[in-house]
Structure 1
Amino acid sequence: MNWRSTTVRFAALVFLLQIAAAGVLLLAVRVIVHGQVYAGAAATGEMVRQDVLAVQAQGVAAIAHAIVLHTIGDTGSRAVLLLTDAAGRPLAGNLDALPPNVMPDGQPVQIDLYRRRHATPEAMLVRVDRLAGGLRLLTGSVVEDEARTVRLLELAMLVALSLAVAFAALAAWLAARMIVLRLGDTVATLDAVRDGALSRRVPADASGDAFALLAASVNATLDRTGRLVEELTLATDMLAHDLKSPLTRLRSALERAAVAADTPAAQEAVERAQAEGQRLLTTVETALRISRAEAGIGRDAFAPVDLAIELEEIAEIYGPLVEEAGRAIRVVTPVRPTLKLHRELMAQALGNLIDNAAKYGAGTITLAVEAIVGGVRVSVSDEGAGIAPEHRAAALRRFGRVDEARGGSGAGLGLSLVGAVARLHGGALALQDAGGLRVVIDLPVGEEPTG
């Protein structure tokens, strides 16, 4: 559980507020009921106390007589009285002794005591007063029924609090679930757009709440993005046409000049110009491919491709080039997954990696495909010096060059194109060490491929 999640924190807030409200309500009910239940018993005890104290000036006999009057037939009476002398000996009343934990001249205290002729202790609300001559007078009232009522109330409150916790948890879950459901269409739309469905929009919502405003903003943003992609497509097509045509004408003119060159120096200059023209044409085409791939253009050309067969065909195409350099190329395919890919772009990306390995690497070039959790990994590795970890970020940037590690006359777009193709397929590109440089492309699939 991610506690930084706004949804989780909102659910926790709903839960805590529900529990706090239930707790305050139950506590208020307990205080009110407790006060009302014991109010009558306290009034009864105070009335008995005042009756007895009213005759204290007439002597011990008068006090004892008043106590007897209040305790006659005490099996049905709730009055509790006891008069003791200075030594603590009982003189009158329905208790056998003063409780030691009730302080004289204090507030009424609830305590469990035995009354005479009663086999079980009872809850009582009593107080002790000092009288002249060291006498002590305990007065009060039995509150056993009230205490039982309060215990039942507390048990009911405990059950109610348990139910409140359960309902609060349910309310918190429903609140979080409502947020997730309300955002579900928006998230699904953005996922679909990311996967190439540029015409997908969030369904209209007439509620006017914050989620509806978010959906409207997302749709407006997607409309603007769609127009930009259309403009980019048009611009790239126009740029390709405007640049490739003169470059092609330039190459034809150089070819004619090469035929007409009558000296070795002129021939060399024309060939150099032809090489630079071809390099410029390749750079333009590669840059356009990267821009189109980054914009998601080309997903409509995806088709099922057997990666193992594709790697074998690419190795067969580039085999003669690698063998001319005195090196070997091999294919390792422990699994044979079939994925929906843009076959032409993927083939060009892998071809770029093989070309880089042939130019800058050493030893055997290995093309491999293996299963990973949630997808497959396609890799091209060699046995050369590789690229130092601190230079890899620069190597992956567009027009990035790592002159310290590699030479050559490339434009620095090879790995950028491979990265763009990987992202077009929802995957990722990474550079690793494996006794040389190992370039891996992780591609997602619906389920793990089997061998």
Structure 2
Amino acid sequence: MRRFWRTTTGLVAAVALVFVLATVAIGAVAYEVTHEGLEQQLDHRIAAETSGLLAEAGREGLPALAAAIRRREAARSTASLEYLLADERGDALAGALDADVPSREGFEELLAYRHKGSGREGIAQALTTRLPGGVLIVAADRADLDEIDRTLASLFASAMAATLALGLAAAGLVGWVTRRRLSRIDATAQAIIEGDLARRIPRDGSGSEFDRLSGTLNRMLDRIESLMESLRQVSSDVAHDLRTPLTRLYGSLERAEAADDPAVRQSLIGNAREQASELLEIFASLLRIAEVEGLSEKLPRQEIDVSLLLEQMVETYRPDFEDSGRVLQRMIPPGLATAGDRRLLSQALANLLDNALRHTPVGTVVELKAQVSGCQIVLAVSDDGPGVTEAERIRLFRRFARAERSRSTEGHGLGLSMVKAIARAHGGSVQILGGMAGFTVELRLPARRPDAP
């Protein structure tokens, strides 16, 4: 039973029960207030009639009072009121009311009576007044008051029943709708567990809580699918791209083992050592990329003067460009700033500039350009070299991916993967622009004023 109250149906049923209890409480208060008000009104009528009779009789005593009662009964001007005038012995002097005379003076709420003329019996509310030589009773039948009480009780009972029925119906409806919507999420989760990573939760576009939750979960699933695809791609690329260096390493060690000449053996071991060092460097780069990709929420958010950082990178790389016969130009406005890790941004820029040094012919002009576009800083490293094909632009951010013309140059095809990981960790993005003539890598980062808190 305790589990039921934790379900959606149980919660709505609990709310309905609260409303029922509130209806009962309101009904009880309203009934009591109404009942007391009607009784007070009835008491006021009886008291006013008693005062009127006594004033009409004046000081003439019981005979005048009896005559006044007979006149009123004959006129029936107060059809709901009954009278009894009795002497000290209890014998009736006037009035059609037949009842036992109360022992005390004042109001009697429940007085059993019988009407002498019609024989009708009932319960009356009465006022007993002691007089010299007798007693006067003015009473009003409670039948109308009791009927009103029954009507009020019936109305409140109906309201309570309607509230309970509507509450239970609402609980069932809400529970059914909730289970129906959650069943879609559950079915999608089950399909994903079975291996269908492309499955998504259907949305109705209503913008409701369930629709927004479905959108959030779908984005999470997109991210998980992307990570799984990246993992599969990394596994495939590692298996494919490391097979050749591992084969070379194995061959070098095998030849070193079979060599009789110590000098040849030492040379082969030295080559194997260099190949192992290269493999370790590749694995270190892969681990570093994975580490950066997991920094989205943990990345230190420090103020970075991007303009100053770019100027320093240009000054650092200018001698290398000049020695290699290439030209490094810049277009850096002052006052650019962002929040993040300065060391990682320096590494991203270094990777882009290293690529320009390695993969462009002598005489190439390379430009480092920065500008603000909306709420983003746009950093671009471009050259007027031969460029790449459309197919290569799409896959160059994959691990170990290299352009065909760069196969003979140094590197492992991990530089742009690192740039992409760093951009995403900073809440930005990176893309390759240009075509067969010219090559541009555009890095976008969230802009921030240097004086911002």
**Smaller-chain TM-score bracket:** 0.3 to 0.5
Q: TM-score, normalised by structure 2?
A: 0.46
TM-score by length of 1: 0.47
Larger radius of gyration: 2
